[in-house]
A and B are shown apart, each in its own frame.
Chain A
């Protein structure tokens, strides 16, 4: 079976010096792949390049058999790729409901939001509130919920735990695992919070200075003390 997402030799960055060097990885359907690494390792740049916000300088990205070169950012969601950017990207001037509707707007007919509200009862309570009135955790739920409203096959998730209480982070991780198990959603999860990411991931990839330095099953990464010390610092 061919992978859902195949990345080969991806090099990208912001001008003269590339941030990502020769990155290759695959994500299977129904797999959660955690991308780990320090600040500035190139994790967000990787996601931004995959969703087309940044042009790739070299390399190939194939999603479900289709080469993504030249595909516009706004088409990505049509293919089944949803990107939740760092800082969550909730449109703060719009209400919760409007943000969620925006997520599924490109689908014809437009999907019902009821399953999303069922998944996040808290959002249903705050339906009419503006984005800037929400707490950090609520915003993260909204951003993920909005991405799910597009019914993607691959979720690119950038630092969902950033600035959240451990309890809420745990909730979100559990939710991702359930979604994977229930719907076969694939997730490329960028995280600094290594423990929670590996707690749900199938595979872990460690980026350092824009290069992949190691990749293993999540269980191996957690269990092997040498690997942990060398790459993850705990």
Chain B
């Protein structure tokens, strides 16, 4: 039995990453994510891993991709301004299909914003931050314990689908300390990168419908090319519109068509009622507290918490929302996940917004007040 320990959210990310097999961390200091780099510097030498502090955020992302190409599980962590700088190479990882995990501990923006007050303003950036149509998986934990488990899943999904995975934390969860017992996760499955067999005919970008070819590590006798250019199955650059279209369709399809395997969510009291709250990260915690208050007032409230923000668990939401009179999307921004919810509900039910974007944490009281106003 593992003991119950007091753990910080950022620390849980590092513990989860190590449990998932993290062997390489490259980063650059930025609050409120810095504890992740500090703990990796301290712990990785003892698990056969490597830590490097790079000259900037761009280089950190690049080094992570380079390390991953040698077969190591690799991660970097940052916050808003750094997340912006990483976008270039996140796009490279998406195009070249190199597994890696990027932690974004969101803080108040835009720009330098309010260092380092809580916000959830990077929802859309995490989906579309880099240019061009590209696949991405974004996961958002709402507790310290969940941060541990979801970090493991971030690595698993990244390796399984050969894609960058963004762990969208927020300052509240990153710095929150909670008593956790990780015993229940000791047997969680860890996905290891499969090794291709045939060196002669190896196709690193073989067309596999809704899937990916195994990625050979550099230096093991598979000599292949990796590029951010549109490429054929060998990885060599192409200008052929047919090959390119097939590539982009496969890239998008490998995530879109595997949503059943990828998406994670939680629901609470979703049998039906007056109000359905949709929220994620620390705001979802505020929702849970608000629900208890509203219950006392006789208002029936349910909660839908996507853990996978992108791809959004749209099928599940379509199933749940008709059971409620009104839907509210609760988030610490001016309304970003709201757009996705609105797109899914298509005006069939009223969709309202409960937001906070002044650097203060969204409280249960904020939610209760807004819900009451709506009656």
Bound together:
no
